[in-house]
Structure 1
Amino acid sequence: MSETHRKIRVLIVDDSASVRMTLSEIIGSDPDLEVMATAADPYVAVERIRQEVPDVMFLDIELPRMDGITFLRKIMSQRPIPTVICSSVAEAGSDTLMQALEAGAVDVVAKPRVDTTQFLQESRMRICDAAKAAAHAKLRGAQKAPPPPINVEAKLTADAIIPPHSEARAASVRAKQPDTDPIICIGASTGGTEALREVLEKLPADSPAIIIVQHMPEKFTNAFARRLNGLCAIEVKEAEDGDVVQAGRALIAPGNQHMLLQRAGTRYTVQIVDGPHVSRHRPSVDVMFRSASQVAGRNAMGVILTGMGDDGARGLLEMRQSGSHTVAQDEESCIVFGMPKEAIQRGAAAKVMPLNRVAHEIGVYARSTYRPGA
């Protein structure tokens, strides 16, 4: 970070003194971030905001004097601030989680866990990345500068989970792949919860099979899937190991675990595995995309949506090289144009389009690959 680079200023709103202290220590440890102020309730937060407007706000949902969702709605209607929900309440309540996202929150993280060094380190990475992504998110069409590059020190690739195919092996697999029903693979991060809702709500009940990686903490993915299941014509569920990938169903990778596509003949299932963070994430879009490139190839479509970083860019390129149809969301409709930008720059996307055309493109792809009796 250069001396002239201004740090991202963060306001923490949480009624727990220990959580405020832990978050402050985590955020303050990153050279790109600083804690502007902390507040125990929304009324104190308003006074802080009157003195100085933060770049990002971390907000709990259960707060004294005014709940976090009501406060978020008021802030977004008066002076929008990129907001990350940091709460344990949303883990169990799908309605609560979706209300927060629909009210304008750009991301959601679990409260930091300090029980072991590993969990604390994972919380630190997730919280700091969420703060940086939120700071560069577009709210109500406002343009933000591109996010700073992510520190990729010791960053693992999908090789840590799935060995890559050699060019000869990949060519052999492409040549031998029998036709199957189409599989749609979607990856998203910051801003992706609402983007996914927009896409999935438009799909008919007989839509092609879909597998999804959305960067989201453990337990939150189940709440997210349940809420989408109540809004969409297709079935939406958090993936479990061995789940069948089939038309009319979308499977969302569980938080804190990787999801791989598997195939036996013309039948697909998902495998849920543990493992290290890949491209700074678990689940990783790269892991899912690579598995699809190796077992589905031309029978798959890869879609990369809004999000910070480069998770999915390498995997989408592998999908395209294996014969898959590949799509990236365009800059104008992205909350954060990080992951799609990386994919586009690598030549991974055959098409670039606004979010409101993605569902239509899925339908076009499905019709173009329809094979009676396949």
Structure 2
Amino acid sequence: MRIRYLKVLRDLTSDYGKNFMLVLAIAIGVFGIGVILGGYSVITREMKKNYMGTIPASATLEMRDSIPKELMESVRSFPGIKDAERHATIVARMKVGEKWYPLLLFVVDDFNDMRTNKFNRISGALEPPSKTMLVERTALVMMQAKEGDNIVIKTPNGNPAEVKISGIVHDPGLAPAWQEQAGYAYIALSTLEQLGENPEFDQLRILVDANNMSAPHIRQKASELADALNKHGHFVEEIQVPPPGKHPHQGQMNAVLTIFIVFSFLTLILGSILVATSMQTLMVKHVRQIGIMKTIGATSGQITGIYFFMMILICLVAMLFVPPSHAAASLLYNQVAALLNLEITDRSIPVIVPIIQVIAGISIPLFHFEMFFVIVQDW
């Protein structure tokens, strides 16, 4: 038995160059799968957690006129509606240096009782005082400002006015400001009036109480509510139903990561080809040794066991690349998180990822191991 192990050790050390190439070929495939699948699993999990944590509205009803506060209780008690909230969105402009950029002003009814499309406070005030605003964190770079600075803002019907940044927030439901080349800010109704606009809410955001992941069901309930509002003189001009439970940029993310996954499996195929080539090269040297071992009485099973053990050792060495691949995966999902304005709260990679890596790392060489078995049987 010791002689077999000694042969394996000498085979591995005497031709370390070819054996190293064999290890490298397996490791390339294992590493690529770990990076892509690890990054993909973390991003998809965190994207859903970030976005659903904001309690995104099931639908938004664009109203012709202002929504009176007393109407909200009737809306919330409407059959099939779980909750509702008044909102308004103003497309304003902000002055940065000598240039003007778009600025989306989100008017919040009650900062202490937000029911839909919530955000996370980072610093400063939770409820912005009059003539101040909360700014989404990615917009600070666009504004070239920080908390406490004043920004010149002009609304469609108002004059340019300075508004102080009283707090910083994170809204996972928004794309980074630098992607949209626009700023994001949250203000109270009193601030909207001071900026020269009518102090009114014209958006009704609702949450349905059942089948809230079914777009047809959401649209049906929103239409029923719209019909009831129209009958009572509160006219609905448009109903918007976003894809339920999906981040606004999930489609782009899936497309990019799908391409990466395809490339990772192409890398795995390349590794398989390299393994086959390396094993064929290795066979040239060992064909004669197999013949000698059979001549002195070694059985086919014993010889196959020797090379099988050697291949397992090579696979185990290649598995050392599994942990580094997870570290590289963190670089991937951190970059994607920055592109999607996400906050990674759980960096753990699912157990299924290293399991897939180990299976792939062992399967590649064992798939080609049959060539050794055929040669052993032929002698």
Q: TM-score range by the shorter chain?
A: under 0.3
Rg (Cα) greater in structure: 2
Q: What's the TM-score, normalizing by structure 2?
A: 0.18
Structure ranking higher in helix proportion: 2
Q: Structure 1 length as normaliser, TM-score?
A: 0.18
Q: Higher relative CO (CA 8 A, sep ≥ 6), structure 1 or 2?
A: 2
